[in-house]
């Protein structure tokens, strides 16, 4: 004959008390110690700064960085890529030279868990930027027409049209 067992469990302060009884009035009790381990989730780093700029001064942001545990305090370390660093959450840094740099943000929570995020910055000297391909092309035309004892000289500047301002200059013919 198969008899079902009844089980009753109580939890108090990390300890579980288990009582098992059968259908014939027999019972057994056990005490089990339970340890709850809190697992810390690492923070998430999110570095931001303009990728391309015509200035040596760059403002960076860690605004989208967060800690999934919500109760942890974050610390910040920016390695700005030129040998300098900052512990500010959103630093502004002035580089000595134009060029390309990799800035890395490391965020750490109060359990020493950390995460890093890197961005590439290109700082371009505005005096080295070539103008856009010209959309206005100008040609000066000098024409001499000879005939019947007289020379006719005319000079004009033709500017090809685009969506920008268009100029056409024409000098009156000069008879020689």
109 domain-assigned: yes
Q: What is the mean pLDDT of residues 133-153?
A: 56
Q: How far is CA 47 from the centre of its chain?
A: 6
Q: CB–CB of 56/123 below 8 Å? A: yes
How many helices (H) and strands (E) would you count in the chain?
0, 14
Do residues 71 and 119 share a domain? yes
Q: Which of 66-80, 87-101, 129-143 has the lowest mean pLDDT?
A: 129-143
Do residues 67 and 33 share a domain? no
Do residues 58 and 99 share a domain? yes
Give the total number of structural domains in the chain: 3
> Which CATH number belongs to the domain containing residue 102 in this structure?
2.60.40.10
Q: Which of 18-32, 56-70, 125-139 has the lowest mean pLDDT?
A: 125-139
156 or 127: whose pLDDT is higher? 127
Do residues 120 and 66 share a domain? yes
And the tokens for 149? 């004892």
44 domain-assigned: no
The distance between the two most distant Cα atoms of the chain, rounded to a whole number of Å, is 142
Q: What is the pLDDT at residue 83? A: 96
What tens digit of pLDDT does each residue of 55-71 get? 999 999 999 999 998 77
Whether the predicted pLDDT of 117 surpasses 70 = yes
Write out the residue range of the structural domain in which residue 25 sits: 1-37
Do residues 143 and 77 share a domain? no
Sign of CA dihedral 4, 34, 112, 64: positive
């Amino acid at each position: 004959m198969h008899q079902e067992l009844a089980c009753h469990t109580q939890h108090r302060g990390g300890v579980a008390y288990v009582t098992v009884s059968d259908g014939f009035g027999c019972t057994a009790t056990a005490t089990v110690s339970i340890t709850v381990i809190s697992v810390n989730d690492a923070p998430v780093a999110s570095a931001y700064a303009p990728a391309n700029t015509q200035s040596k001064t760059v403002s960076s942001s860690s605004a989208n960085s967060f800690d999934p545990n919500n109760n942890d305090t974050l610390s910040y370390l920016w390695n700005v890529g030129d040998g300098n660093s900052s512990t500010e959450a959103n630093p502004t840094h002035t580089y000595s030279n134009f060029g390309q740099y990799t800035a890395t943000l490391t965020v750490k929570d109060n359990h020493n868990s950390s995460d890093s995020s890197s961005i590439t910055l290109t700082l371009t000297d505005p005096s080295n930027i070539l103008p856009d391909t010209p959309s206005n092309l100008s040609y000066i035309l000098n024409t001499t027409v000879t005939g019947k004892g007289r020379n006719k000289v005319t000079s004009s500047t033709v500017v090809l049209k685009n969506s920008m301002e268009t100029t056409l200059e024409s000098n009156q013919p000069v008879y020689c």
